[in-house]
Structure 1
């Protein structure tokens, strides 16, 4: 494989490889398969910043004693509709799966539920948990911070970082998938995407970073304001920790809020109204031909279908890291389809 080249892999091959690596570091097989599925789903959706390129980082966190692959979250506060989970340094993919499922169950019982999560590892793309809840007829809101660490974003006018990318995700059920799912960092781009572009050797767009190379907030003061709200909800409210000169933790805090649609109105009427306003928003004169209005969640679903059929592109720098894992854990590399030149689009 030459520099700058990408290869195409079957998604099942990537998922199997990732699951095998995770079981090698003593993760339960079912949990390993789930986490591998979330990782590959990011690549399928076109979000390589949270896909297979992260697998070596997750292993590195385990090797450094920062992540506990066999940990499962425990409930440390429970008042019915309000709960707090201790993730016990388990991988966030598993912790947020369990937190989402718990929030869904309690929302069905109480109409609305909130689950605060602390001491969890990075959870990858948040859209997957929103989709999981929306498929159950539950609206989900997620707010996540880095428990005071991961400071990559400068406040407006600042040259030094003071905040993490502090993502927000929301899932709303539609009549059928893809559901209305928004998953966004409160910075111009996610830190993982910035790192990915640097790994590729791509020039960094000037509007992404300050003159000192620090990420900017999305939309200036609007993204900054949202980031501060997330810091308060995901950091201070959950007890996970907030930004400071000397953060105590290097993990993730998340506030999960689940709303049972049927506690407010019949599901049929709700989704019918959602589809009605979506249709109205789509019915608008377009600036350019061939660029229809897409709802949040639709672009990722379309890319996933295409890549499931054609193969998942893997960049050269990511493939080299997978080769190292294959050697370390005595595994066969994922089967490939073909090589192509040039960066991903």
Structure 2
């Protein structure tokens, strides 16, 4: 698979350095800017452009409007030997989630499990990058978050629940890849609607309804309406589950109270719930890896339905996309490059460098 010829390619290091410069110019510490930039660029590398560096203009707008504190540092409170809480202090969600997973991993290394709740946070980008933090440390994980209202509860018609991603992961064996699941409880992630709006594209029917409750392929109308849950009442129930564990449990906003990254009216008050587990709690690590190898090959080598050329393990398509983009660059349309460079001009920072 190759990128479209009309797209502009940007290298990983160039993209990350660009984001770091914008964030530092906006008052974010170097350490936190690195964490935010890494999370965003990982999303672009994995093909999840809806959660990549194109989020920067909305993040910077929230700083300018005083509803996100660029200088905030997440604060950690140990509750029990295996439970902790992080207060995001209305800073970027990325450092808060990173600290939460780092703490969960540390507890799991000693006690087998670590659980961290995060309150008063903000959007933390693609959940898979936090799952990957655990996988890289040899850990299994669960990563939950809530988000701003975009989805009706089943049987309702108004925005109440967030399109909150469900994410989890486990290390792979020596002859397989890690298991990384990151999915929204809606038919499509809301970020994909924003991406289509930025690019002047239509969205597939079946993703969303407009304000009148009618199916729409117009992203602007979709953002004024509601997203549709996957599997009807099942997707709605999963969205409620995310809010219980991330919002109610943490002390953050819930049931429609979270403010989204494109809303400049007030702080986000997002909640997260993060768990790390040692994979060798019930067997040796070697046996676990061998079992993951067997699992992977049984999945990808299973009989295919008509018209299917290949079966992929969860996270495998994204891994292959990342391998290609590390070599060839991250694709953007010119309108996206122009929007990013407008932020650089506003802050007196260098413009994003495109690959030749």
Match of 1:142 in 2: 143
Q: CA RMSD in A?
A: 2.1
Q: CA separation in 1, counterparts of 2:302 and 2:139?
A: 29
Q: CA separation in 2, counterparts of 1:172 and 1:121?
A: 26
Classify the secondary structure of the residue corresponding to 1:21.
helix
Match of 1:191 in 2: 190
Q: CA separation in 2, counterparts of 1:161 and 1:244?
A: 7
Match of 1:36 in 2: 37
59-68 or 227-236, larger mean C-alpha shift: 59-68
Q: CA separation in 1, counterparts of 2:104 and 2:195?
A: 33
Match of 1:15 in 2: 16
Classify the secondary structure of the residue corresponding to 2:198.
helix
Match of 1:105 in 2: 106
Query: In the alignment, is residue 318 of structure 1 matched against residue 317 of structure 2?
Result: no
Classify the secondary structure of the residue corresponding to 1:142.
strand
Counterparts in 2 of 1:144-293, with a 5 A limit? 144-146=145-147, 150-175=148-173, 178-212=177-211, 213=222, 214-244=226-256, 250-287=268-305, 291-293=309-311
Per-residue deviation at 1:263? 2.7
Match of 2:313 in 1: 295
Per-residue deviation at 1:77? 4.9
Unaligned segments of structure 1, at least 5 residues: 339-345
Per-residue deviation at 1:91? 0.8
Classify the secondary structure of the residue corresponding to 1:262.
coil
Classify the secondary structure of the residue corresponding to 1:320.
helix
Per-residue deviation at 1:320? 2.0
CA 1:246–1:298: 2 relative to 1, 3 Å = closer
CA 1:281–1:245: 2 relative to 1, 3 Å = closer
Query: In the alignment, is residue 308 of structure 1 matched against residue 318 of structure 2?
Result: no
TM normalised by structure 2 equals 0.88
CA 1:164–1:93: 2 relative to 1, 3 Å = same
CA 1:249–1:68: 2 relative to 1, 3 Å = closer
Q: CA separation in 2, counterparts of 1:43 and 1:136?
A: 22
Deviations 1:31-51 (Å, cap 9, x if unpaired)? Answer: 212321211111111111111
Would you say the 8 A contact 2:161–2:256 is kept in 1? no
Per-residue deviation at 1:113? 1.7
Q: CA separation in 1, counterparts of 2:329 and 2:295?
A: 35
Q: CA separation in 1, counterparts of 2:349 and 2:267?
A: 33
Unaligned segments of structure 2, at least 5 residues: 212-221, 260-265
Q: CA separation in 2, counterparts of 1:208 and 1:24?
A: 37
Aligned residue pairs total 332
Relative contact order (alpha carbons < 8 A, sep ≥ 6): 1 or 2 greater?
Answer: 1
Per-residue deviation at 1:106? 0.7
Q: CA separation in 2, counterparts of 1:256 and 1:166?
A: 14
CA 1:159–1:317: 2 relative to 1, 3 Å = farther
259-268 or 40-49, larger mean C-alpha shift: 259-268
Match of 1:342 in 2: none
CA 1:108–1:219: 2 relative to 1, 3 Å = same
Match of 1:343 in 2: none
Deviations 1:134-169 (Å, cap 9, x if unpaired)? Answer: 1222111011002xxx11112234332111111111
CA 1:5–1:76: 2 relative to 1, 3 Å = same
Q: CA separation in 1, counterparts of 2:165 and 2:51?
A: 13
Would you say the 8 A contact 1:152–1:215 is kept in 2? yes
Q: CA separation in 1, counterparts of 2:35 and 2:77?
A: 24
Deviations 1:209-267 (Å, cap 9, x if unpaired)? Answer: 12533101122111111111111111111111211479896232011111112233211
Per-residue deviation at 1:271? 1.3
Would you say the 8 A contact 1:143–1:167 is kept in 2? yes
Q: CA separation in 1, counterparts of 2:269 and 2:7?
A: 31
CA 1:123–1:178: 2 relative to 1, 3 Å = farther
